[in-house]
Amino acid sequence: MLQTPLWKRILIWATVALGLVLAAPNLFYSRVEGHNDAAQAVEAAGFATVEQQAALDAWPSWLPSGIVNLGLDLRGGAHLLAEVQVADVYKARMDGWWPEVRDALREVRADVGAVRRQPATDPAELRVEIENEAGMAAAVAAVNALASPIVSLTGIGENDISVTAEGKTLIVALSESERAAVDQRTIQQSLEIIRTRVDTAGTREPTIQRQGADRILIQVPGIGSASELKALIGTTAKLTFNPVVRRGTSEDAAPGAGNVSLPSMDEEGVWYTVEEVPVVSGEDLTNAKGDFDQNGRPAVAFQFDARGARAFGDYTAQNIGAPFAIVLDGEVISAPVIQSHIPGGSGIITGNFTVEEANRLAVLLSAGALPASMTFLEERTIGPELGQDSIDAGKVAAVIGMVAVSLFMIASYGLFGVFAVLSLALNMAMIFGILSIIGATLTLPGIAGIVLIIGMAVDANVLVFERIREELKNAKSPARAIEIGYERALSAIVDANLTTLITSLVLFTMGAGPVRGFAVTLAIGIVTSVFTALYVTRQMVETWYGLRRPKTVYV
């Protein structure tokens, strides 16, 4: 009786030992963290500096080095939820369609008459008024000829644009599946660019995730504030080089066809009227970095690709003595006069930059422009001190809770209570071991989840002990009572814990951020506490019973 097969015992203790080994690195948190950071840096750079080597040596690399990630609320950092304005891209697409539509309608001018673009309220629409309503059929046919079919799973047989008529107005709109494709592409590009920008800024373990249809969640630990993060990723960074038409002191009311009036970034009240179509744009840049001009002022050095270099070279050769504007996000950084032909495709941008601004602009330019602007729906900054306070408070609470529960259990169940407390300690270690190996993030509610588990973990043990007590009352032999106790308590333990597991799964799927951390620790804690109660505590009880062979057992 009361004998678990050897293989099973080995498996149980091996699982516990594995949990302990995996949890161990967390005891040397800062040392292991330094080791991991250094290892990552060394791998990226290909060589190790003296400090990095020292950090590497501080923790033997053959030991497991997985540690629990600390969430933003514990480490401090910034959290942003951004909504990508996909409508921006729709508008750009429709603007791109206009010349083609105009040309197509010009060919059927005999039927259609004069055409005029009208303002549209929906950015995904292009509205064109035609002179002769009778020629509408011809106009629709002509524009329809421009459409091309979409190749996608859902949009079979659909074109990228739909053409409809409404009185004298011809409406060209992006089709549903084309919109979906544009959305998908825009979000994907935005994600990539944000990732590049955040990575270049050199922060650790940022989280950049798509959320829902058009949202992006960005969490960067260790950054000073959400405003700082916003400055880095919220700028569209659309850079263009446009020919300057004239310079003025107020906004140009009539810039003329194909021109726009833009304010100067640094000079108050100065406006430039520039040609809307740029000579070259930021997309033609291959590289940009922070630099200094010949006077030692901060500047951004850039390099064009082959196409950009040719276009820029040709333009400068033809327009010596004329000014051109360097435009960033609708503002003119500077408008230098072309001194000579610039053939090499490289140059520097000077403005009233500080060194930081120049470096940031360089990062933004080399990462590329965002395809659409973003609005920020949610932003949170948590200072590192507050996070540390929370960790300290959590530790204190966990220790006090653990001690109080232990005393209570031992007072209630004597030796069996001691077994329960020992397996509770192993349980805690296993939770940390699992959290470390799956790379889960520990948040403040997550710590609360662990403390809650301290209370709930003993439940499975309590169920068994109470059951053993009852069976002992029914005058069973101790060994038999223990065995039946475990057997009969099983269904209650399984049902009770499965329902809690269900709730934690719902919490995980529905919850965001910190709440998710709570769900993870709760779910892991439930699994480990059932394991420790059913197997580990039982092993202890059986071993004790095997050694002592007591005639009577008092639980």
Partner 1 sequence: MAWRLRLAPEKTNFDFFRWQGVTFGGSMLLMVLAFVAWGVMGLNFGIDFKGGTTIRTESAQAVDVAAYRAALEELPLGDIAITEVFDPTFGPEQNVAMIRIAAQDSTEAVTPEQIAAVEAALRTIDPAMTFPSVESVGPKVSGELVWGSILAVALTSFAVLAYIWMRFEWQFALGGVLALLHDVFITIGIFALFQIKFDLTIVAGLLTILGYSINDTVVVFDRLRENLQKYKQMPLRDVMNLSVNETLSRTLMTSVTTLIAVGTMMIFGGDVIRGFCFSIFMGVILGTYSSVYVAKNIVLFIGLDRSEKPKNKGTPDEFANIDA
Contacts of partner 1 in 43-102 (CB under 8 A): 73, 81, 83
Distance CA 521, CA 450 (A): 6
Residue number with CB closer to partner 1 (295 or 491) = 491
Strand (E) positions, 383-454? 441-442
Q: Choose the stretch contacting partner 1; rule: CB under 8 A; options: 33-41, 119-127, 131-139, 503-511.
A: 503-511
> Minimum CB separation from partner 1 for residue 407, in Å?
9
Long-range pairs for 507-511: beta carbons < 8 A, 24 or more residues apart: none
The stretches of 65-175 forming alpha helices (DSSP H) are: 72-75, 86-107, 109-112, 136-144
Q: Which amino acid is at 191?
A: L
**Residue bearing tokens 């509205």:** 127
Q: What is the DSSP letter of 264?
A: B
Can you tell me which of 63, 145, 306, 396 binds partner 1, judged by CB under 8 A?
Answer: 396
Distance CA 173, CA 124 (A): 6
Contact 350, 362 (CB under 8 A): no
CA-CA-CA-CA dihedral for 137, 138, 142, 148, to nearest 10: 30
Q: Which two tokens stand for residue 22?
A: 């995996």
Q: Considering only residues 425-484, where is the footprint of partner 1 by CB under 8 A?
A: 444-445, 447-448, 451-452, 454-456, 458-459, 462-463, 466, 469-470
Can you say whether the dihedral through the CA atoms of 271, 277, 279, 280 is positive or negative? positive
* Helix (H), strand (E) at residue 365: helix 355-367
> Minimum CB separation from partner 1 for residue 493, in Å?
9
Distance CA 291, CA 355 (A): 8
The partner residues of 125 in beta bridges, in order of sequence, read 173
Q: Which two tokens stand for residue 306?
A: 């082959």
Residue number with CB closer to partner 1 (208 or 325) = 208
Contact 323, 274 (CB under 8 A): no
Q: Considering only residues 185-244, where is the footprint of partner 1 by CB under 8 A?
A: 225-227, 230-231
> Minimum CB separation from partner 1 for residue 262, in Å?
22
Can you tell me which of 147, 217, 397, 484 binds partner 1, judged by CB under 8 A?
Answer: 397
Residue number with CB closer to partner 1 (13 or 554) = 554
CA atoms within 13 A on the CB side of 405: 24
Distance CA 40, CA 390 (A): 28
Residue number with CB closer to partner 1 (264 or 381) = 381
Q: Which two tokens stand for residue 40?
A: 């990552």
Can you tell me which of 386, 422, 437, 527 binds partner 1, judged by CB under 8 A?
Answer: 386
Residue number with CB closer to partner 1 (15 or 427) = 427
Distance CA 435, CA 519 (A): 12
Can you tell me which of 500, 527, 544, 545 binds partner 1, judged by CB under 8 A?
Answer: 500
Q: Which two tokens stand for residue 6?
A: 């050897």
> Minimum CB separation from partner 1 for residue 124, in Å?
19
Q: Choose the stretch contacting partner 1; rule: CB under 8 A; options: 183-191, 256-264, 513-521, 528-536.
A: 513-521
Can you tell me which of 247, 380, 476, 480 binds partner 1, judged by CB under 8 A?
Answer: 380
Long-range pairs for 106-115: beta carbons < 8 A, 24 or more residues apart: 107/142, 108/135, 108/138, 108/139, 108/142, 111/135, 111/138, 111/139, 112/136, 112/138, 112/139, 112/142
Can you tell me which of 248, 378, 437, 544 binds partner 1, judged by CB under 8 A?
Answer: 378
> Minimum CB separation from partner 1 for residue 435, in Å?
18
Can you tell me which of 412, 480, 484, 527 binds partner 1, judged by CB under 8 A?
Answer: 412
- Return the closest-CA partner of residue 67 out of 204, 185, 174: 204
Residue number with CB closer to partner 1 (42 or 422) = 422
CA atoms within 13 A on the CB side of 495: 6
Looking only at the bridges linking them, the beta strands covering 259-263 and 271-275 are antiparallel
Q: Tell me if 527 contacts partner 1 by CB under 8 A.
A: no
Can you tell me which of 110, 254, 411, 475 binds partner 1, judged by CB under 8 A?
Answer: 411
Contact 348, 302 (CB under 8 A): yes
Can you tell me which of 171, 440, 442, 507 binds partner 1, judged by CB under 8 A?
Answer: 507
Q: Considering only residues 129-168, where is the footprint of partner 1 by CB under 8 A?
A: none
> Minimum CB separation from partner 1 for residue 530, in Å?
12
* Helix (H), strand (E) at residue 217: strand 215-221
Residue number with CB closer to partner 1 (362 or 447) = 447
Residue number with CB closer to partner 1 (259 or 390) = 390
- Please tell me the count of residues contacting partner 1 according to CB under 8 A: 76
Can you tell me which of 27, 156, 306, 404 binds partner 1, judged by CB under 8 A?
Answer: 404
Residue number with CB closer to partner 1 (288 or 457) = 457
Q: Choose the stretch contacting partner 1; rule: CB under 8 A; options: 101-109, 411-419, 427-435, 532-540.
A: 411-419
Residue number with CB closer to partner 1 (347 or 517) = 517
Residue number with CB closer to partner 1 (376 or 544) = 376
Residue number with CB closer to partner 1 (334 or 532) = 532
Residue number with CB closer to partner 1 (25 or 517) = 517
> Minimum CB separation from partner 1 for residue 415, in Å?
9
Can you tell me which of 25, 71, 282, 514 binds partner 1, judged by CB under 8 A?
Answer: 514
> Minimum CB separation from partner 1 for residue 83, in Å?
8
> Minimum CB separation from partner 1 for residue 449, in Å?
8
- CA 420 to mean position of chain CA atoms: 41
